[in-house]
Amino acid sequence: MTLQSRILLVILATQLVLAGILAAGSLDRLRRDIATETRTGAQTARNLVLATIGTMQDAVPPDRVMALLPERLTEPRHARIGVMDALDGTLRQPPGPADPLLQAPRWFAALVAPYPQETRLPVVVAGRPRGYVLITGDPAEEIARAWRDMRDLMALTLALAALQAMLIAQALSRGLRPLERIATRLSDLTRGDLESRIGHLPQPELAPLARHADNLAEALEQAHADRRRLQHQIVARADAERKAIARDLHDEMGPCLFGLRVEADALRETAPDAATRQAADQIGTIADQIASVNRALLNDLRPMAVGQLPLATVLADYVEDLNRRFPETRIDLDIAAGLPEPDEPTALTLFRILQEGTTNALRHARAGRVTIRLWTDPAHWRMILADDGAGIADGRREGTGLTGMRERITLLGGDLRLESDAEGTRLTARLPRQAAQRNRTTT
């Protein structure tokens, strides 16, 4: 139940109880008034009957008194008169007042009607009983009047209550409308729109709520920015570490291996016998093997060209090399024109996606064709890599390659989607662009 209907219900219930108490009080009063009026009416009727009989006694023959009495009487208000003539045993009534225009409903009459009272007045003329007169109180007219008053009062009360309820409902709905705004902004926040704010509210009860929610949003936005910066730093730091290891491997191992090779060659030249010559050959072969492992390791640790050459060139070179080595698969690279140069962690990530994606397509999918698209939207670097291979087999989990790629992308605040069916596999990656880069292209 809404707050609004609850408040309205409480107010209406209070009004109903109040109206009930008032009605009960006035019913009591009405009942007493009607009883008094009716009793007075009966009293008046009694006096009237006695006076009329008095005036008739000398003017009318005694045995005609009862027959003529009803004509001589006019019924007073609030009483009914009946004349019982002992001669013929008939009960005659004088003409009464017209029925009241408005009749009270039966239930109301039952509530306020007084206890019926009847007076039987014996008539004795010239020493002989001639019959009797019946006088009963008649509250109908009074009841009808009371009903009219009561009904008007109730109608007015009802109209006022409805007006009050309407005004209260209107005030409440206007007062509570900002809650909708607050709810919308909070759901914006939940959806990840951290720049959404409620702003100032004129309602003094809701203003602090809005202020606190906005402060919370601000803190959240700040924390989010901090986290992204830190994650970016983690990736950049790890990249720097690998770069340093690669440099050491290159600078230290390279010359040593070269020296070993030269020494092996020299030994071979000056070898006194075939066995020594063979040993020198073997040393040379092992040195070559180590050099090749070293090169692979270097490339894995740090693709040298990334950060040195424009990303587009590095990617194009890599794809060209693949096309040469795997002529049965066609690899197409489509890079949007005029792309800015990404920061190094992003460049390295884009390279890794290309590297891992093409390797998977060649190794697992036996694809005939691989297409790669790279472009930007205002906030992201976007890359799609699709092959037309067999698709990822059911039940296959993401391995080191895909997991590592996803982790790196997530750390940089991006996301990776993997779709695969019998028609092939598609990787869709999004990486946030740094604010500085975004500005550089827009200005």
Ligand X SMILES: Nc1ncnc2c1ncn2[C@@H]1O[C@H](COP(=O)(O)OP(=O)(O)O)[C@@H](O)[C@H]1O
Binding status of residue 425 toward Mg ion by CB under 5 A: no
Binding status of residue 442 toward ligand X by CB under 6 A: no
Single out the residue of 112, 425, 431, 433 in contact with ligand X (rule: CB under 6 A). Answer: 425
Single out the residue of 97, 401, 413, 432 in contact with Mg ion (rule: CB under 5 A). Answer: 401
**Extended beta strands in 65-223, E state:** 79-85, 90-92, 118-125, 128-137
**Contact (CB, 8 A) for 422 and 241:** no
Q: Which of 361, 417, 414, 356 is nearest to 391 (CA)?
A: 361
Q: Which of 313, 306, 352, 309 is nearest to 333 (CA)?
A: 313
**What CA dihedral angle connects 283, 288, 292 and 298, to 10 degrees?**
80
Binding status of residue 416 toward ligand X by CB under 6 A: no
* Cα gap 180→133, rounded to integer Å: 79
DSSP state of 121: E
Six token digits for residue 281: 């050959």
Q: Which of 429, 434, 240, 244 is nearest to 352 (CA)?
A: 429
Which range, of 24-32, 155-163, 214-222, 353-361, touches ligand X by CB under 6 A?
A: 353-361
Single out the residue of 149, 205, 398, 421 in contact with ligand X (rule: CB under 6 A). Answer: 398
Could you tell which of Mg ion, ligand X, none binds residue 392, using a CB distance below 5 to 8 A set by kind? ligand X
**Contact (CB, 8 A) for 275 and 284:** no
CB-nearer residue toward ligand X: 243 or 373: 373
Binding status of residue 399 toward ligand X by CB under 6 A: yes
Six token digits for residue 345: 């962690």
At its nearest, how many Å lie between ligand X and the CB of residue 243? 24
Which residue's Cβ has the minimum distance to ligand X?
A: 399
Binding track over 327-366 against Mg ion, x by CB under 5 A: ---------------------------------x------
Binding status of residue 418 toward Mg ion by CB under 5 A: no
Binding status of residue 360 toward ligand X by CB under 6 A: yes
CB-nearer residue toward Mg ion: 97 or 401: 401
Binding status of residue 400 toward ligand X by CB under 6 A: yes
Binding status of residue 423 toward ligand X by CB under 6 A: no
Could you tell which of Mg ion, ligand X, none binds residue 329, using a CB distance below 5 to 8 A set by kind? none
Six token digits for residue 429: 């990656």
Binding status of residue 365 toward ligand X by CB under 6 A: yes
Which range, of 9-17, 82-90, 396-404, 428-436, touches ligand X by CB under 6 A?
A: 396-404
Could you tell which of Mg ion, ligand X, none binds residue 396, using a CB distance below 5 to 8 A set by kind? ligand X
* Cα gap 287→265, rounded to integer Å: 11
Neighbours of 369 (CB within 10 A): 14
* Cα gap 29→52, rounded to integer Å: 35
CB-nearer residue toward Mg ion: 349 or 360: 360
Q: Which of 104, 193, 170 is nearest to 143 (CA)?
A: 104
Which range, of 7-15, 170-178, 241-249, 398-406, touches ligand X by CB under 6 A?
A: 398-406
Distances 361 to 227, 330, 390, 424 between C-alpha atoms, Å? 34, 11, 9, 9
Binding status of residue 417 toward ligand X by CB under 6 A: no
Number of residues that bind Mg ion (CB under 5 A): 2
Six token digits for residue 225: 């920015």
Phi then psi for 346, rounded to 5 degrees?
A: -70, -45
Contacting residues toward ligand X, per CB under 6 A? 356, 360-361, 364-365, 387, 389-393, 396, 398-403, 425
Q: Which residues bind Mg ion (CB under 5 A)?
A: 360, 401
